[in-house]
Amino acid sequence: MIRTVAQTGSTNADLIALAAQGAAEGTWLRAQRQTGGRGRMGRDWQSPPGNLYASTIVRLQPHDPAAPTLALVAAVALADVVRAYTPDVAVVIKWPNDLLMGGAKLAGILLERAGDAVVVGIGVNLAHHPEGLDRPVTNLAAHGHQLDPAIFIEDLAACLARWIARWRSEGLAPVRAAWLASAHPPGTALVANLGDGDLVEGLFDGLTDEGALRLRLAGGAVRVIHAADVFLI
């Protein structure tokens, strides 16, 4: 079920509240505008009309893979949908779940857990992108693709449901393979901000079997990163 509202503070916050009231898996909420959207690491997410701001609920089951790997699932599904609309433009996933187009950020995903529910928030710059950030940002309209968020979310909901079904029935392996196929090439220079002021620079060396980031350091050792804000160098 997809519900659309003209405005809300945060679709993630709304669905966390609905999850606590028993809302089912597959519940979606899309806002035409958010006044309190947020991204990873506590960042504000600017939300002008015309972009996609949406969240959905996944109810964890006893034999599901680890909940944090839903970040990879969501990234793969979102990349599939964007790629279907923009076959002429390369779409790349940056760990764990940002989408880049032409080296600039196009979309972000934020997972928040509440009991047995994981709320997956997805923001896609369809028509606009913020200015003055510390990283390149873009939108699909700037690449010549005018997309209606009401139609985009229908395709995204269907694609994400298919990938969640595979994640449950086949485990993380097919998700990890699809993620790697959409990622920047091995050897790409990255810097990971661990959130405590510690920065780790290295070369992209793929993912562990559990989906953590592998960074090959200057001396040849591999550092495994489980949580960080990652930037291309």
pLDDT tens per residue across span 111-124: 999 999 999 999 99
54-58, 125-129, 167-171: least confidently modelled range: 125-129
Position 135 confidence tier, pLDDT thresholds 50, 70, 90:
confident
DSSP reduced 3-state for 42? helix
Q: What is the reported pTM? A: 0.92
Q: How far is CA 200 from the centre of its chain?
A: 22
The answer on pLDDT for 49 being more than 80 is yes
Residue 133: its pLDDT value, please?
72
Residue 40: its pLDDT value, please?
47
Strand partners, 232: 190
Residue 41: its pLDDT value, please?
45
- Contacts with 130 (C-beta within 8 Å, 6 or more apart), sequence order: 46, 137
Average pLDDT, the chain: 92
More confident residue, 43 or 60: 60
* Closest C-alpha among 109, 141, 102 to residue 125: 141
Determine the Cα–Cα distance for residues 60 and 115; give it in Å rounded to an integer.
Answer: 9
Contact 228, 196 (CB under 8 A): no
More confident residue, 232 or 172: 172
Position 75 confidence tier, pLDDT thresholds 50, 70, 90:
very high
